[in-house]
Structure 1
Amino acid sequence: MLAAADEGRHALLVADTGAGKTLAGFLPTLAAFCPSRLGGMKSAEGLHTLYVSPLKALAHDVQRNLVTPVEEIGLPIRIETRSGDTPSDRKARQRARPPHVLLTTPESLSLLLSYPEAPELFSTLQRVVIDEVHAFATGKRGDLLALSLARLQALAPAMQRAALSATLADPDSYRGWLAPWGDIDTVALVAGEAGAEPDVSILLPRDERIPWSGHAATWAIDQLYEKIRAHRTTLVFTNTRFLAEYIFQCLWDANEDKLPIGIHHGSLSKEARRKVEGAMARGELRALVCTASLDLGIDWGDIDLVVQMGAPKGSSRLLQRIGRANHRLDSPSEAILVPGNRFEFFEAFAAQEAVREGRRDGEGFRPGGLDVLAQHVMAIACSGPFREEDVLSEVRSTQAYAWVDEAIFARVLDFVATGGYALRSYDRFRRIVKDRDGTWRLTHPEHAARHRLNAGIIVDAEMLDVRFRNGRSLGKVEEGFGASLEPGDTFRFAGMDLEVESLKDLDLVVRAAKRSATIPSYMGQRMPISTHLADRVREMLADRAGWARFPDDVREWLEVQDWRSHLPAPGRLLVESFPHRGLAYTTYYTFEGWPANQSLGMLVTRRMEDRGLGPLGFVATDYALSIWGLKPVEDPAVLLSPDILTDEFVDWVQQSYLLRRAFREVAVISGLVERQHPGKRKSGRQVTFSTDLIYDVLRKYEPDHLLIEAAWADARSRMTDVARVADVLDRAAREIDHIRLDRISPLSVPVLSMIGRESLPSGAADDELLHEAESLASLAMRVDPALDE
């Protein structure tokens, strides 16, 4: 890394966890301040290096681990952090007198670029270090950072870019993202030596009978507690904030020894997160239950066990979490996977094999979002007047926006300037204007303040602050959950039982309660199983010789399924039809993830309705889709023809809430609709009302509006996962194995047991799920037809 910097090249470092990536990324900065390189000269003042991290916690952790060696070496380097949690007076001081090294996030960097001082502030910048680049480069945060890098390169032409990651499936694609567009050869690929192979095992019930259904894996709590007792520090990962609270509560119920166990997720208050992070850094906790808020790069040396509760969803994500244990290159990390049901067992098994083989997966790159580009243009306008051709040149120097031509950029500028044709008569949408000399500028300085209040890429559901009467904040719950509570209602949050006193504006005022079983649920996007793991699971199911590796009850399940029906095979689509409780059921084993299966369910039921089959409902999981109705499906190929993704898909999305929801997000990101005004924050209902009103106007008068186009791009890729729906249709066009049965099949038990419970938070109905699954299984697993009599 030092050699690449000395040669004036950008660099991408791919190395296992514990190899020293962060210090390697910073080494050229540290070297620049060494007396041997200064040659008797005094080190220059001003901002030298930006460190960009996807998580606030990671930036603070890096500061802890970077400050110590800097102080011990005696280097004259000032290091500070800047994020949404940084006090406003410190932010102002950092702009006037910046540190040598600033640790920040993509959103905070974009805001820094929106100030008039930005050209002077970044004129001294020599280096940008992007940590855990895989975590956000392929999404909208990556779009924003790519645009910011292009802006920085224009302000500091000699700036070097460095990116770090432990889990890249395709390093060259990331080199293309990191480089100025078309200059991939300017990015050196630096590969670290391989670390010790991780020790990954799968936890099974003591009787080795894996549950048919459920996601919370609460069957494992007693065994998990024994593991915690036997290790110094255990990090317990869950896939949702609800599950983090739920598993934490279950562990406390089992905590006879009163071990110090903490909880950490993104909805907890900054104070609560900092307190837990500090306790972990000091080695004071025996276990910490967490979500993706601690996925990346956190270096706590005392962690000697990582537990993944539920399905891992991807091998790269799992490797990242495993790397939190030991955090040493020469010592194997110990990890335990805890499947919640039988399909999750296969997913865990596939992930275990992928980790052993060193195989990675991850999302691919897609064209940059126009809503993000609009936000970036507004940030540039806030920093000062600009010329259209200069900014377009910067924008096109990124891989994400190389496709933007003069016509598209003119549409973006017109949107930022007027809101578009249908909105241009409203003064509040007139944010920038073009002067006679060809430069663009703000129409009024107040637009800069409003931009900085509202800029950002992450658009969560609107939140309510949870506070005690004395003002102490515990964190946030979603407005939809909080608005359903009345004074006297209780819920569990931040590991505490709370009783509602009142709801004032956007504050949920609470006090301590004796006991509560209710836990807030969150609308966060559901993570689908990766295509890589899905392919592995299908291969495992088809490999009959390999079934000997599985527990007896799982092997028996597959054998009875194979005897009575078929098993999913690579390149083919298994479809089963059978009667059950007086209705006709059809189950499609797609293995394409919940979003794709949910979308397919909506499309197929509409087509069934048109053909008079009387569909009554459907249920989707990551692995399968089951639809029930009044009449049986005789030919599933007709329902799965590729033309379903043309007229019917467009019609469904336009009539559903999906496009409105996507429009709400792009309207907020682009700055068309503001969530905050000075001293006041809009409620979620107010934001939704505003975006729905504008959406209806644009659909009627300007259906080709820039944001309608951006919303469609989101609906296709992220919300409906249309690419994976297309994969199902491709397999159906090649070969469908349509099996007609006289009753429910063993393989369909897990998905059918979710009917009526699928919308509940994972874990909320596990007991009922297990009971229903066992009832269905007793019917599905019968091998003697005479017993049915």
Structure 2
Amino acid sequence: MRSTSPGREWMAARGWQPFAFQRDVWRGVSEGRSGLLHATTGAGKTYAVWLGMLDALLQRHPPGRSAEPLRALWLTPMRALAADTTRALTQPLQDLAPNWTIGQRTGDTAAGERAKQDRRFPTVLVTTPESLSLMLTRENSRDELGAVEFVVVDEWHELIGSKRGVQAQLALARLRRFNPGLVTWGLSATLGNLEEAMKVLCGEAAQPSPVLVRGKIDKQLVIDTLIPPDPGKYSWAGHLGKRMQEPVVDEIARAEGTTLVFTNVRSQAEIWYQLLLEARPEWAGQIALHHGSLDRATREWVELGLKDGTLRAVVATSSLDLGVDFLPVERVLQIGSAKGVARIMQRAGRSGHAPGRASRLTLVPTNTMEIIEAAAARCAAYEGRIERRESPAKPLDVLVQHVVTIALGGGFTSDELFDEVRTAWAYRTLTREEFDWALTFCERGGESLAAYPDYHRIRRNDEGVWHVPDRGIARRHRMSVGTIVSDASMQVKYLSGGTLGTIEEGFIARLRKGDCFYFAGKLLEFVRVQEMAAYVRRATRNKGTVPTWSGSKMALSTELGDAVLEMMQTAAAGRYPHPELQAARPMLETQARLSRIPTPLTVLVESLRSREGQHLYIHPFAGRHVHLGLASLLAWRLARDRPNTFSISVNDYGFELVSAEPFDLAPVRDKGIFATGDLLHDVLDSLNSSELAQRRFREIARVAGLVFAGYPGQPKSMRQLQASSGLFYEVFRKYDRGNLLLSQAEQEVLSQELEILRLRSTMERIRERELVLVELRHPSPMSLPLMVERFREKLTTEQLSTRLDRILRDMERDTR
């Protein structure tokens, strides 16, 4: 690499010195090598890659008076991140190549700007995987994208494990077909399997060999816990939530800069925004709410306030997780468990977002187990025990969509596209039979849809080139490109005018005229639904419900679950070295007195008899998804020889089985019930696997283009979409059993909803460890939360409170 370069000179002019990892990236780019840069959030990853690529482009194409064609693509998983990235890339570009242009193309891009780009793309384009796939549907895509020399995929850890990441892999495979010398770089801050992640991005056979750069700089990470006073001996989900209101408010008040308050779900964000306003009404206008369902203008206003430092605090979900640069953010609070080490580090990086500044995250537990988990999370983060992210294996719905995309984008021949798709990591094991099935499915809808022209999406001409013959099919496909499938939503509008955002149709359907609910930080009164919009007015009453958005709860990661067990082992040995363990000591000592404390070497099983019947509690610490599958499997196996009915309750630490009829514990004691021999068969028999697969098929049908969500202004309702996908599911089951989309639905249920590999691993670990079976007289501190989870489903808040008071009084009386 040259001793001097425009990029290095540009940095020097600002008094900046490059880090060693930035120089390593520049060297790799100058050698024409792809790679992955893994560095701390706020360390300077963007300029590490961008200045290296800009140097290479300036050397190959000295800037003249006219703009260059599209040379570089920057892929980002979020629209907000696209705008922020565009600003960052623009500064050196304007100084070093003022005639080159930069733009962004996402779902938020105005129609006028899109039309301008359609005439001529800018030299540098910041976009999303969906928008890049849409660009590939253009008939002249090879001419427009063939000059692209560099692609950067930002926040690769966020994409790699999803179908959006697979979509990006397929798009990159296409771009490499256009330009075999394409250089691809990924940026990430939180990944545990770096070598594999690099291969997924760059391709297994990439030449020259890709380079992995680890950015190591002295950036302090501070993780602490906001410990509640006197958390007590017993606790359950949300037990400490409201009690943390004043401590959180005090922390925000003491902060000199802006505080980001993260929650895991949108409904929790709405609740905490109201809690902050309730405690400090004078903060109105100084605190804000940010999540993905809010109107775009509202989100942009909040993001600008964060950048300007005019907001005291912002309550947010993962909508602000990723690398948007908010320098005024001094600290981050995480309400409740973050569920994973990577998420903790990602959110911590939102503060001190610059080299040399410390990143600080304060964990705010909402129950006593989360206090222990906070200490475990801090230790795991400091030790770098970050979760792996793996690519889905050959999802055929994404392939079907891609086949139609490429047919639109100039067409393809079968052999060439098969070879191209196989260069994408997700499809490296794709067989020719599977590819030909996808081709036939696009051609005539498989065995059962051949009579319907709408599903004859591609046709082969006399030269053997596949193309899309119908303009209506082409239009519908372009409107459906993407793999993000969410439930149908309605706009929320004031009667007087103005849009607040979107809420899922199912929530609105439960409302009656006059009902009140909190949304966008406001108390609203529902008036009516008209033309797929929910019309509201500001409410005058003081009470309302909070919308709940669909989607499964995040599960505790393996790494964090293991770290919690290690922390429990420390307590079991009588040591409490962390302030969190000191706070949880009353609960842990009560658990030890009534039962046992679980450890990495043991599996705690508790049995209890009550007026409800026989209870069995098992605590594997494997996350709620695994526990749901394991609880269903054990209930089915226990009832196989002697019919019985079980109720099930799960959380991240364990699960409960309860039956009115007694059952034999011998299979649990001898661990025979945890055998993995016929695991797949038994899991499918123990669950309503057909219903689970049908629900999963709804998403697959929409990605594969079987179900069309409607035209702008004429969206189909969720009921219509579900009915359509359900009809396809039943038709395929009856008349097209070889349809591979059905197999995919079953596999996704096992791998994603039930985490079958992790379930098998958990059962093997149980069989290897000492099983400790304790007969309880009263619920233990670890079994009570599972009992509460079950009560919540059938008791009102008042009834639940009364019942818990009685249980706690009985336990206190008998354990004194």
CA distance in 1, matches of 2:601, 2:700: 36
Please say if residues 167 and 316 of structure 1, whose CA atoms lie closer than 8 Å, have aligned partners that are also in contact. Answer: yes
Equivalent residues of 1:749, 1:776 under 8 A apart: no
Residue number among 639, 656, 659 corresponding to 1:609 in the alignment? 639
User: What is the CA distance between 1:185 and its match in structure 2?
Assistant: 6.0
- 223 and 38 in structure 1: CA distance in 2 versus 1, 3 angstrom threshold: same
Partner of 1:524: 551
Tell me if structure 1 keeps the 8 A contact 2:523–2:539. Answer: yes
Please say if 1:255 is aligned against 2:280.
yes
Match of 2:314 in 1: 288
Question: In the alignment, residue 8 of structure 1 is paired with which amino acid?
Answer: G
Q: CA deviation at 1:565?
A: 2.5
Q: For the residues of structure 1 that align with 2:182 and 2:515, how far apart are their CA atoms?
A: 56
The letter of the residue matching 1:438 is G
Q: Deviation per CA, 1:310-338: give whole Å up to 9, x if none.
A: 00111111101000101122121121001
Which one of 47, 50, 53 corresponds to residue 23 of structure 1? Answer: 47
**Which of residues 662, 666, 690 is equivalent to 2:724?**
690
The answer as to whether partners of 1:619 and 1:752 remain within 8 angstroms in 2 is: yes
Structure 1 distance, partners of 2:90, 2:806, is 59
Question: In 2 relative to 1, CA 519–55 (structure 1 residues): closer, same or farther, beyond 3 Å?
Answer: same
Is the 1:233–1:286 contact (alpha carbons within 8 Å) kept by the matching residues of 2?
A: yes
Of all paired residues, the percent bearing the same amino acid is 34
What is the aligned counterpart of 2:266 among 237, 241, 244? Answer: 241
Query: How many Å separate the matches in 2 of 1:498 and 1:643?
Result: 55
SS of structure 2 residue aligned to 1:400: helix
Determine helix, strand or coil for the equivalent of 1:304. strand
Cα pair distance change 1:572/1:671, threshold 3 Å: farther
Report the residue type matching 1:10 in the other structure: S
Report the counterpart of residue 265 of structure 1 in structure 2: 291
Say which of 77, 93, 96 aligns to 2:100.
77
Q: Which amino acid aligns with 1:249?
A: Q
1:222 maps onto 2:253 in alignment: no
Alignment CA distance shift 1:296-1:743 (3 Å): same
1:666 paired with 2:700, answer yes
CA contact (8 A) 1:133 1:163 kept: yes
- Residues 738, 629 of structure 1: alpha-carbon distance in 2 compared, 3 angstrom cutoff: same
Q: Write the distance in 2 (CA, Å) between the matches of 1:758 and 1:13.
A: 46
Q: CA deviation at 1:508?
A: 0.8
Aligned to 1:354: 380
* 2:184 corresponds to which of 157, 161, 168: 161
Displacement of 1:405: 1.8
Partner of 2:592: 562
TM-score between both structures, scaled by the size of structure 1: 0.94
Secondary structure of 2:329 counterpart? coil
Distance in 2 (CA, whole Å) between partners of 1:469 and 1:582 is: 50
Q: By how many angstroms is 1:60 displaced? A: 0.9
Instruction: For residue 551 of structure 1, report the CA deviation from its aligned partner.
Output: 4.6
Could you report, residue by residue, the CA deviation over 1:626-666 in whole angstroms, capped at 9, with x for unpaired residues? 11112144132354332462333223455552111111010
- Give the corresponding residue for 2:165: 142
Q: Indicate the larger mover: 49-58 or 602-611.
A: 602-611
Q: Is the 2:516–2:524 contact (alpha carbons within 8 Å) kept by the matching residues of 1?
A: yes
Matched, 1:744 2:779: yes
Distance in 2 separating the partners of 1:254 and 1:124: 57
Q: What are the Cα deviations for residues 645-691 of structure 1, in whole angstroms up to 9, with x where unaligned?
A: 23332234555521111110101011111112365211100000011
Alignment of 1:16-415 (within 5 A): 16-32=40-56, 41=64, 45-71=68-94, 75-183=98-206, 186-207=209-230, 209=232, 212-215=235-238, 217-231=241-255, 232-258=257-283, 260-415=286-441
Runs of 4+ in structure 1 over 6 Å off: 767-771
Report SS of the residue matched to 1:325. coil
String of CA shifts for 1:485-532, please: whole Å, max 9, x gaps: 122111110011111111123211111112342110011232111100
CA distance in structure 1 between the partners assigned to 2:159 and 2:814 by the alignment: 50
Question: Is 1:581 aligned with 2:611?
Answer: yes
Alignment check: 8 A CA contact 1:305 1:335 kept: yes
Instruction: State the Cα distance separating 1:256 from its structure 2 match.
Output: 3.9
Which residue in 1 is equivalent to 2:505? Answer: 479
Query: Aligned ranges for residues 363-762 of structure 1 at < 5 Å?
Result: 363-514=389-540, 515-543=542-570, 544-549=573-578, 550-552=580-582, 554-612=584-642, 614-630=644-660, 631-635=662-666, 636=668, 637-643=671-677, 645-653=679-687, 655-677=689-711, 679-735=713-769, 736-757=771-792
Question: For residue 624 of structure 1, what is the amino acid of its counterpart?
Answer: G
What code does the residue aligned with 1:47 have?
Answer: L
8 Å CA contact retained: 2:524, 2:536: yes
The letter for the 2-side match of 1:547 is Y
Q: Report the 3-state secondary structure (helix = DSSP H, G, I; strand = E; otherwise coil) of the residue aligned with 2:426.
A: coil
Contact 2:68/2:100 (CA < 8 Å) preserved in 1? no
Distance 1:771 1:15, change over 3 A: farther
Change in Cα spacing, 1:725 to 1:431, as seen in structure 2 (3 Å) is same
Distance in 1 (CA, whole Å) between partners of 2:65 and 2:95 is 19
Check 1:755–1:81 CA distance in 2 against 1; reply closer, same or farther (3 A cut). same
Equivalent residue pairs, number: 780
Gaps of 5+ in 2: 1-24
Preserved CA contact (<8 Å) 1:54 1:135: yes
Cα–Cα, structure 1 residues 582 and 525, in superposed 2: closer, same or farther, change >3 Å? closer
CA 782–539 in structure 1, closer or farther in 2 if over 3 Å, else same:
farther
CA distance in structure 2 between the partners assigned to 1:521 and 1:591 by the alignment: 26
Partner Cα distance (2:556, 2:476) in 1: 39
Please state whether the residue corresponding to 1:756 is helix, strand or coil. helix
Contact map agreement 1:237 1:307 (CA 8 A) in 2: yes
TM-score normalised according to structure 2 size: 0.91
Q: How far apart are 1:33 and its partner, in Å?
A: 6.0
Deviation sequence 1:367-396 (CA, Å, 0-9, x none): 131111111111111112210111111111
CA contact (8 A) 1:325 1:334 kept: yes
In 2, Cα distance between the equivalents of 1:613 and 1:40?
79
Judge conservation of contact 2:236–2:367 (CA < 8 Å) in 1. yes
What code does the residue aligned with 2:276 have? Answer: L
The answer to whether the 8 Å contact 2:620/2:766 transfers is: no
By how many angstroms is 1:41 displaced?
A: 4.8
What letter corresponds to residue 755 of structure 2 in structure 1?
D
How far is 1:409 from its partner? 0.4
Q: Secondary structure of the equivalent of 1:186? A: coil
* Equivalent position SS for 1:420: coil
Q: Deviations over 1:206-234 (max 9, x none)?
A: 34548711238232111111111111200
Using the alignment, how far apart are the partners of 1:434 and 1:650 within structure 2? 40
More divergent stretch after superposition (4-13 vs 436-445): 436-445
CA contact (8 A) 1:753 1:776 kept: no
The 8 Å contact of residues 666 and 711 in structure 1, kept in 2 or not, is answered as yes
Structure 1 residues 296-305 or 91-100, which shifts more?
91-100
Separation in structure 2 between the aligned mates of residue 41 and residue 332 of structure 1, nearest angstrom: 42
Instruction: Return the letter of the residue paired with 2:779.
Output: I
* SS at structure 2 position matched to 1:403: coil
